[in-house]
Amino acid sequence: MLHLNAFLFGCGHHSAAWRHSSSRVEDLGDIGYYEELARTAERGKLDAVFFADGHSVRDPAGAGTWFLEPITALTAMARATSHIGLVTTVSTTFYTPFHAARLLASLDHISGGRAGWNVVTSMFDAEARNHGFTEIPARAERYARAEEFVEVALALWDSWDGDALKLDRDGQYADPDGVHSIDHVGKYFRVDGPLTVPRSPQGRPVLFQAGASGEGRDLAARYAEAIYAVAYDIDSGAGYYADVKSRIHKAGRDGNSVGIMPGLVTYIGSTMTEAHAKKAELDALLPVEQSLRQLGMYVEQDCREWELDAPVPTLPPVEEFTGPHGRYETILRIVAKDKPTVRELLGTLAAGGGHATMIGTPESIADEMEAWVSGGAADGFNLMPPLYPAGLEDFVDQVVPILQSRGLFRHDYAPGTLRDRLTEGGTR
Amino acid sequence: MLHLNAFLFGCGHHSAAWRHSSSRVEDLGDIGYYEELARTAERGKLDAVFFADGHSVRDPAGAGTWFLEPITALTAMARATSHIGLVTTVSTTFYTPFHAARLLASLDHISGGRAGWNVVTSMFDAEARNHGFTEIPARAERYARAEEFVEVALALWDSWDGDALKLDRDGQYADPDGVHSIDHVGKYFRVDGPLTVPRSPQGRPVLFQAGASGEGRDLAARYAEAIYAVAYDIDSGAGYYADVKSRIHKAGRDGNSVGIMPGLVTYIGSTMTEAHAKKAELDALLPVEQSLRQLGMYVEQDCREWELDAPVPTLPPVEEFTGPHGRYETILRIVAKDKPTVRELLGTLAAGGGHATMIGTPESIADEMEAWVSGGAADGFNLMPPLYPAGLEDFVDQVVPILQSRGLFRHDYAPGTLRDRLTEGGTR
């Protein structure tokens, strides 16, 4: 069975989404907007909704990437829904484990066992400079801290036994022998414990990770119960999938119990033409000059004179490219797979960057998704609609019923926690 | 006009409350319990509900002081109510200002301008040992950090101008000139800003403080917009009131705009006898041996042989007492004012300690409250029902109507934010 998350992100994952007439840009500070999105996702029986997080304002003029703090937003959304999981990003570089464990355990209680934690180490100097650093610590340092952080959080969640609360009016509130210190003293943290929050419905909220680097993949392999991935095409998806499942195996865990969910941008129309028109409509809202300038940095050429509606000029192979390879390889993959015009390429890059992008009818998209799963590239997807709420409604109302009719997705929620949901039906 | 907060605290402020047959001890992890309390407080037109906070488990066997993390709990409660303020305690010793400012601004958005922050510096070694310290920093150090913390939080809240968001689909999302760095570099914090959360409905969530020490009173005088106080009788209340209002004046602010709200424990009956019976019922649930041992430490005598239902034996005057004076003076005040039996004294100490305690009919309690206000000891009260939910329901249904009929309390909410609510009608 597939697993599907809705990755909530401002007005949508296309950077021009907020300019679209149907965007809810006026409501980005209104919790009712996010509650509606969560209810739509729950109508589609999705496993979870998910918030990324950032600790700096990148470009106030350009787009409303961040607005509400995600844990508070998800807490309200928990009360507006009954079944769907609620996954928040918490940075191990900027938080400390007692705060994080406490907030997440509280969300797990409030949601009745639906909390998840996407473990990230953050990456921008501008974020670090809001938290006492002058620049972001080096990757090795961040991952060493992340590992200690996760260990402390897990220990804090385990500090109350499941049966420690007695609530015996004539006797004990709790059994002191069931409430444990953790007495952690490590390189980064000193935490005595126990947690102030008694054991939550899931005990440990579900750990998500999105490891891309070697360090990230190893952290995911050791701790994650579900993994967000980035892959533009099925080949790169399958490569990532095989590598991470092998790392999970090497870490002594069962790869089948850890779902891998690549990000997925979808443009859904009743015909292919209508689907492409939806993308073109958003792409037309991009600021051209700025987008071409940015593309020029990615490909290390002056693109300002490129013809917008002509095919992308031939680009040198990656071996001849002297700049950073990651983004450039993605561009080569997009050009090879889709043969886009310059404007279409700008739009694809503006919506999810290097994430899988499927443009088509509900049937063709269901076919592609099925091909990823049967091709060993995914256990599910982290849905990244280019435009909220319309893109999520399209997916829920048009693609989900097809996945259900093919036996690939649940028809309704079974009782249980987010962890139960994610392991329902197993993964490959 | 009076200002009234409901100080939410587990099953109630009496330490034996959870043992009472009507307590909701089974629901301490159920957000629905707190939502109901908030709705009850809103039915009584109270200004706000308030959570204290602690970062360590004091006595797992004894009582469920802490359970849910307060910011997440208040976020859910915000969605279950429409008018009432939501005040959370955030420690400046354990948090950092970017996290705190972000969480509070998000709560202010989610609640539509009803967020308040009770600024505390925390005090227990056991709490510090969950946050990287080996012991709690000295008071002067804590207050120096608190002052810098508050300044950074205020600057972050001011980092987005009120009109910075343009949301012009054909132009700018926000005006970059309306979004400011704060570039703070101080002794404790380095924060570039701006905040990731655009300006919230109140701009700055309302600052509460509960300064008791000189440092605390000065911090309150400089920053607080409302002050929680501890005073057992009207004389000590008036002393605190005059001192703090004078400090506010010396800090260059208008004392009339800052309400002082002593904590208030109420036992409400249709007769005095019934009210005293309510207290006796809770007092009878106290573990006697442990309570007498604790009293022995407070008064530096062996109290284990004291007759429970006899008057408290004569205690030496404070000048002859060699232990810490604060708690001992409170005990002398309780004995002088109420002439309690030993068991009654144990019960009074077990419910709010040194806070004002009013036992009587709705009319007699309204009279006492009015006497505190006209006697220059209070601008309102921080209600501390010994037993939730019954004690809050008694107050809302029986005392509030009398205060309303005397013109001392609002009949309904006017539109507006928590700040509007707290300054409505002014203070003395």
Q: How confident is chain B (428 residues) per 10-residue block, as mean pLDDT? A: 96 96 97 98 98 90 82 98 98 98 98 98 96 96 97 98 95 94 98 97 97 90 96 95 96 94 98 97 93 92 93 93 86 92 94 92 98 98 98 98 98 97 72
- Average pLDDT of chain A is 95
Contact B353, B7 (CB under 8 A): no
Contact A89, A53 (CB under 8 A): yes
Going by pLDDT thresholds of 50, 70 and 90, the confidence category of residue A427 is very low
**How would you write B277-321 as a 3-class SS string?**
HHHHHHHCCCCHHHHHHHHHHHHCCCCCCCCCCCECCCCCCHHHC
CATH of the domain at B147: 3.20.20.30
pLDDT for the residue numbered A65 = 73
Q: Is A124 on the interface with B (CB under 8 A)?
A: no
- Are B175 and B256 in a shared domain? yes
- Are A250 and A299 in a shared domain? no
Cα separation, A198 vs A162, in Å, equals 8
Number of H helices, E strands in chain A: 15, 11
B146 in any annotated domain: yes
Question: Shortest CA distance to A88 belongs to which of A245, A264, A221, A208?
Answer: A208
Question: How many domains does chain B fold into?
Answer: 2
CB nearest to A107's CB, from B20, B60, B72: B72
Strand-pair category, B356-360 with B226-229: unpaired
Minimum CA–CA partner of B126 in chain A = A192
| Predicted confidence (pLDDT) per residue in A43-64, tens digit | 999 999 999 999 999 887 767 6
Cα separation, B165 vs A313, in Å, equals 38
Cα separation, B264 vs B286, in Å, equals 20
Question: Shortest CA distance to A185 belongs to which of B129, B126, B124?
Answer: B129
Residues of B in contact with A131 (CB under 8 A): 96, 98, 191
- Are A173 and A195 in a shared domain? yes
**How would you write A298-323 as a 3-class SS string?**
HHCCCCCCCCCCCECCCCCCHHHCCC
Domain end, chosen from A331, A360, A389, is at A360
- Are B365 and B295 in a shared domain? no
Cα separation, B400 vs B395, in Å, equals 6
Q: Which residues pair with B261 in a beta bridge?
A: B228
Minimum CA–CA partner of B64 in chain A = A173
Instruction: Give the DSSP H or E segment for A39.
Output: helix A31-43
B428 in any annotated domain: no
If one counts every other C-beta atom within 10 angstroms of the C-beta of residue A318, the result is: 11
| Predicted confidence (pLDDT) per residue in A148-195, tens digit | 999 999 999 999 999 999 999 999 999 999 999 999 999 999 999 999
- Are A157 and A288 in a shared domain? no
A78 in any annotated domain: yes
Q: Is B71 on the interface with A (CB under 8 A)?
A: yes
- Are B255 and B323 in a shared domain? no
B404 in any annotated domain: yes
A32 in any annotated domain: yes
B212 in any annotated domain: yes
- Is A71 in Cβ contact with B76 (below 8 Å)? no
Residues A24-35: b if buried by 16+ CB within 10 A, e if exposed: bbeebbbbebbb
Q: Range of A310's domain?
A: 270-360
- Are A18 and A81 in a shared domain? yes
| Predicted confidence (pLDDT) per residue in A324-381, tens digit | 888 898 899 999 989 999 999 999 999 988 899 999 999 999 999 999 999 999 999 9
Domain end, chosen from A360, A388, A406, is at A360
Minimum CA–CA partner of A18 in chain B = B169
pLDDT for the residue numbered B427 = 47
pLDDT for the residue numbered A70 = 98
| Predicted confidence (pLDDT) per residue in A278-313, tens digit | 999 999 999 999 899 989 999 999 999 999 999 999
Residues of A in contact with B194 (CB under 8 A): 57, 60
Rounded to an integer, what is the distance from CA A88 to the centroid of its chain? 9
| Average pLDDT, integer, range A63-84 | 93
Cα separation, B411 vs B336, in Å, equals 37
A428 in any annotated domain: no
Question: Shortest CA distance to B385 belongs to which of B32, B46, B2?
Answer: B46
Q: Is A256 on the interface with B (CB under 8 A)?
A: no
Chain A segment 26-65 residues within 8 A of B by beta carbon are 26, 29-31, 54-57, 60-64
Going by pLDDT thresholds of 50, 70 and 90, the confidence category of residue A412 is very high
A155 in any annotated domain: yes
Rounded to an integer, what is the distance from CA B69 to the centroid of its chain? 16
Q: Is B169 on the interface with A (CB under 8 A)?
A: yes
- Is B66 in Cβ contact with A196 (below 8 Å)? yes
CB nearest to A132's CB, from B80, B178, B190: B190
Domain end, chosen from B303, B331, B355, is at B355
Cα torsion at B312, B314, B317, B322 (round to 10°)?
Answer: -70
Cα separation, B304 vs B286, in Å, equals 14
Residues of A in contact with B72 (CB under 8 A): 71-72, 75, 103, 106-107, 110
- Are A280 and A326 in a shared domain? yes
Q: Is B107 on the interface with A (CB under 8 A)?
A: yes
- Are A255 and A316 in a shared domain? no
- Is B110 in Cβ contact with A73 (below 8 Å)? yes
- Are B55 and B157 in a shared domain? yes
DSSP state of A113: S
Contacts of residue B95, Cβ cutoff 8 Å, sequence gap at least 6: A99, B149
- Are A255 and A277 in a shared domain? no
Residues A135-151: b if buried by 16+ CB within 10 A, e if exposed: ebeeeeebbbbbbbbbb
- Is B179 in Cβ contact with A60 (below 8 Å)? yes
Q: What Rg do the C-alpha atoms of chain A give, in angstroms?
A: 22
Contact B372, B262 (CB under 8 A): yes
User: Tokens 């949301």 map to which residue?
Assistant: B167
Query: What are the phi and psi torsion angles at B241 (to 5°)?
Result: -55, -50
Rounded to an integer, what is the distance from CA B2 to the centroid of its chain? 16
Dihedral angle sign, alpha carbons of residues A158, A162, A163, A164: positive
| Average pLDDT, integer, range A115-123 | 96
Strand-pair category, A190-191 with A184-185: antiparallel
Mutate to test the interface with A, among B28, B117, B130 (most CBs of A within 10 A): B130
Going by pLDDT thresholds of 50, 70 and 90, the confidence category of residue A426 is low
- Are B419 and B296 in a shared domain? no
Residues of B in contact with A21 (CB under 8 A): 169
